[in-house]
A and B are shown apart, each in its own frame.
Chain A
Amino acid sequence: MIIHVDMDAFYASIEQRDFPELRGQPVLVGGVTGRSVVCAASYEARRFGCRSAMPTKEALRRCPDAIVRRPRFAVYRDVSRQLQEIYHSFTPLVEPLSLDEAFLDVTGSVACMGTPEKIGKDLKASILEATNLVASVGIAPVKFVAKMASDHGKPDGFVSIKPEEVLNFLSPLPVSRLWGVGKMTLPRLHGMGLRTIEDVRRQPLSRLEKELGNLGRHLWELSHGRDPRTVEPDRDPKSISHEETFDDDLSDREVLLAELHALTDEVCLRLREKNWLATTATVKIRFADFTTITRQTAWNEPTDQTRLLWERVRDLWNVEQGKLKQSVRLLGVGFSGLKRPEARQISLFDEESNTSDRRIDQAIDEVRKRFGIDSLRPADVLRRKGRS
């Protein structure tokens, strides 16, 4: 059985916990200047329609009396570490999704700690006791149902779905709640006359596959309460890397450079997804005769910016590419020396370009989150053979 834990209005609740004068008040955590957005809204503020990711200006228009607090990420991170410790006292299989959300696989804990419901209640109580914060808990046989269950009871929720109850629980819920249904898919499902999860389940698989391809099969599986994803404990990685073996060995320098750029681009995206900064870049080259070389470079200031990381990778490549005597079978790019600094060193000179690079990366990541990595690629990646 899987437990999904989701802290209620996490940042805002911590503010209310630490500053008693905020209790019972509508609180927005976020910036106040121009284009700042709300990171979290207390339940008092949500009543006025304030939501996270909403521009602070808009939130204040809806709730003029709301109190805006600057986020204190260092404190939130500390609380999150406390939560991690509590989770791990129940099971080693913990997959954190963010500072305030995690999946726990408690299947193996039942023998010594009691039913999943008891574990869920103990977990909720431990969190309240240790942090004075309220968590919503969802329990179900699979991940996505557990997540829906925790959401279902919010705030201060406790919803447990037994295996035999899964279909009944899912049936009346709107299709928009299914994992993978976004702004693009929803109108298509509605167009097919599918509004509830039960509607999806009652469709022949063939129709869904015909209309939506692989996504159709995926949604059909979910509608039956089937989710093959397991809880993946998040161990700190030593490096984040990716490599590709080509269908045919490559010797064209421009094509190889394009392949390298595509790999770098992908690894940078993952680096940022996992919230790491790197201080070392590695390039791996395997030649037609299977000899393999790796080249590495390190620097002081940790970064996750694609432009800076690509400069490092390209420097490594430029040294090697002049010496290429045979065609290349495989290229790999990796970043290591991973760090999560709590603060970023401002630069005296390229602050402007630094900030704009960060914004570009953020914008590109947003687009890709919604439309996939191939929705936006560096132009030279088009030189890759027989693709794009």
Chain B
Amino acid sequence: MKLTCNREGLSSAFQVASGVVPQRSPRPILRSVKLEIDGPNSGTLLATDLELGIRYSISGIEADSTGQLLLPIGESMAIIREMNDPTISLRVAEGGVILEGATSRFELSTEDPLQFPDVPSMGDEPAHKIKAGILTNMIRRTAFACASENSRYALHSVLVEFEESRMKFVATDSKRLALMPGPIEIAGEVPEGTWLLPPKVLQLLTRVLQDPEEEVQIVLHENDALFRTGKVTIYTRLVEGRFPRYQDVFPSEVKYRVPLPVGQFHAVVRQSRILTNDESRGVDLRFADGEVRLQSRAAQLGQSEVKMPIGYTGDPVEVTYDPHLLIDALKVLDPEEEVVLELPDSKRASVFRTRDDYAYVVAPLMRDR
């Protein structure tokens, strides 16, 4: 089998696929990507670490037959990057593959492409359909809240759930919880149950999805999930384990409702974070008389007080937060919009809500040691 291929097209496919190739693996073959040719002008680049897989359709191909070949990721990427030719020719050879430009030729030894594990494709299953812009926004507003590690719950994941014509993403590390719904066109009945997506597949999706108007198809199985756009299919295994009953963390009664302009509030929280450290992590917030006052103090550093006028005239209320938890959420919101902080009291978790139904629950810090 022999083919020529547009170098730019191949390069961008490699860029995306390299995100899936594992850094190290007990199976060295996974450090390669597979190129499958199934027609004179159609080819697919495949990469997988067995948990996560990608199929990337490549255009600008002219092939003399169908077939497949393996390309070791590191060397192939370097070759494609360093060659200046607009097109590259690839050819299967004994025990490997040959890449050629007008003035250069690289013979790479590779393993047998037939040994490369399959990356499932979507087939004709009915799929839910969502706009890429909505999906990436849901990812951006939730994925940061995942736990990096946790022994008791499966918190290194984003929970997926459906409700009428909406899909919901939920992520938490047990200090805070982010929930973002988005409109979706559901195939058939509203799916019941929950699915846990690994954060890695969401990172990959944000890299792949460039055009917000593009449609993304989603199929969720019991143990895995598939996402498909025009060019790309992504396969992922789901996270196993139990996600806590996230509904329970929302305050059951709300005594105080404080409206806050995102951009300005973000700015004062960032200021009050300056004089905090590991040992004195908290910022004390006091909402009263049309004003929020933020105070921080840290031994050996000093102390700060920052004020900002707000449209709140209810009873005074004080609460202490880790400013990092607030900033994480404030930076993924539109600075021009408004959030409403709903507080039960200073000891229990409170929730920030936006008009588009984003909810961010934050547990306070307690000074009772």
Q: Provide the residues of chain B in CB contact with A348, threshold 8 Å.
A: 172, 174-177, 244, 249, 349, 361, 363
Name the CB-closest residue of A to B325.
Answer: A345
Q: Provide the residues of chain B in CB contact with A299, threshold 8 Å.
A: 149
Name the CB-closest residue of A to B249.
Answer: A348
User: Is B320 in contact with A349, judged by CB distance below 8 angstroms?
Assistant: no
User: Is A345 in contact with B279, judged by CB distance below 8 angstroms?
Assistant: no
Shortest B244–chain A CB gap in Å is: 5
Name the CB-closest residue of B to A344.
Answer: B366
Q: Contacting chain B: which of A101-109, A335-343, A367-375, A380-388?
A: A335-343
Per the 8 Å Cβ criterion, residues 149-208 of B in contact with A are: 149, 151-153, 172, 174-177
In the bound assembly, the distance between CA atoms of A74 and B348 in angstroms comes to 21
Shortest A357–chain B CB gap in Å is: 13
In the bound assembly, the distance between CA atoms of A199 and B219 in angstroms comes to 87
Q: Provide the residues of chain A in CB contact with B368, threshold 8 Å.
A: 344
Q: Provide the residues of chain A in CB contact with B149, threshold 8 Å.
A: 299
Q: Is B367 an interface residue (CB 8 A)?
A: yes
**A74, A77, A343: the one within 8 Å of B366 (CB):** A343
Q: Is B299 an interface residue (CB 8 A)?
A: yes
In the bound assembly, the distance between CA atoms of A132 and B361 in angstroms comes to 43
In the bound assembly, the distance between CA atoms of A91 and B148 in angstroms comes to 46
User: Is B367 in contact with A346, judged by CB distance below 8 angstroms?
Assistant: no
Q: Provide the residues of chain B in CB contact with A78, threshold 8 Å.
A: 299
User: Is B365 in contact with A343, judged by CB distance below 8 angstroms?
Assistant: yes
| B251-295 Cβ-contact flags toward A at 8 Å (1 or 0) | 000000000000000000000000000111110000000000000
**A77, A341, A346: the one within 8 Å of B349 (CB):** A346
In the bound assembly, the distance between CA atoms of A59 and B238 in angstroms comes to 58
**B176, B278, B347, B367: the one within 8 Å of A74 (CB):** B367
Q: Is A350 an interface residue (CB 8 A)?
A: yes
Shortest A355–chain B CB gap in Å is: 10
Main secondary structure of the interface of A (DSSP, over half): mixed
User: Is A73 in contact with B363, judged by CB distance below 8 angstroms?
Assistant: no
Q: Provide the residues of chain A in CB contact with B280, threshold 8 Å.
A: 341-343
- Given known A348-B361, A349-B244, contact A315–B369 (CB-CB < 8 A): no
User: Is B367 in contact with A343, judged by CB distance below 8 angstroms?
Assistant: yes
Q: Provide the residues of chain B in CB contact with A342, threshold 8 Å.
A: 279-282, 367, 369
- Given known A315-B151, A347-B174, contact A339–B349 (CB-CB < 8 A): no
| A309-327 Cβ-contact flags toward B at 8 Å (1 or 0) | 0010001000000000000
Most buried by B among A77, A81, A300, A346: A346
User: Is A344 in contact with B177, judged by CB distance below 8 angstroms?
Assistant: no
**B177, B278, B349, B369: the one within 8 Å of A73 (CB):** B369
Q: Provide the residues of chain A in CB contact with B152, threshold 8 Å.
A: 350
In the bound assembly, the distance between CA atoms of A69 and B347 in angstroms comes to 18
Shortest B297–chain A CB gap in Å is: 7
- Given known A74-B297, A349-B249, contact A343–B349 (CB-CB < 8 A): no
Q: Provide the residues of chain B in CB contact with A349, threshold 8 Å.
A: 153, 174, 244, 249
**B151, B297, B348: the one within 8 Å of A311 (CB):** B151
Shortest A237–chain B CB gap in Å is: 15
User: Is B369 in contact with A345, judged by CB distance below 8 angstroms?
Assistant: no
User: Is B278 in contact with A341, judged by CB distance below 8 angstroms?
Assistant: yes
In the bound assembly, the distance between CA atoms of A110 and B368 in angstroms comes to 41
Q: Provide the residues of chain A in CB contact with B278, threshold 8 Å.
A: 339, 341
Per the 8 Å Cβ criterion, residues 64-95 of B in contact with A are: none
Per the 8 Å Cβ criterion, residues 311-346 of B in contact with A are: 320, 322
User: Is A73 in contact with B367, judged by CB distance below 8 angstroms?
Assistant: yes
Shortest B125–chain A CB gap in Å is: 35
Q: Provide the residues of chain B in CB contact with A351, threshold 8 Å.
A: 363
Shortest B144–chain A CB gap in Å is: 15
Q: Provide the residues of chain A in CB contact with B366, threshold 8 Å.
A: 343-344, 346
**A73, A74, A77, A350: the one within 8 Å of B174 (CB):** A350
Shortest B5–chain A CB gap in Å is: 46
User: Is A344 in contact with B369, judged by CB distance below 8 angstroms?
Assistant: yes
Q: Is B364 an interface residue (CB 8 A)?
A: yes
In the bound assembly, the distance between CA atoms of A69 and B297 in angstroms comes to 21
User: Is B279 in contact with A339, judged by CB distance below 8 angstroms?
Assistant: yes
Q: Provide the residues of chain B in CB contact with A345, threshold 8 Å.
A: 175, 281, 322, 363, 365
Q: Provide the residues of chain B in CB contact with A74, threshold 8 Å.
A: 297, 367
Closest 3 CB pairs of A and B: A343-B365, A346-B363, A348-B249
- Interface pairs (29), CB distance under 8 Å: A74-B367, A299-B149, A300-B148, A339-B279, A340-B279, A341-B278, A341-B280, A341-B281, A341-B369, A342-B279, A342-B280, A342-B369, A343-B280, A343-B366, A343-B367, A344-B365, A344-B366, A344-B368, A344-B369, A345-B175, A345-B322, A345-B363, A346-B349, A346-B363, A346-B364, A348-B177, A348-B349, A348-B361, A348-B363
- On B, residues with C-beta under 8 Å from A are 148-149, 151-153, 172, 174-177, 244, 249, 278-282, 297, 299, 320, 322, 347-349, 361, 363-369
A339-B278, A344-B365, A346-B348 known; 6 new pairs, CB 8 Å cut-off, are: A299-B149, A343-B282, A346-B347, A346-B349, A347-B174, A347-B175
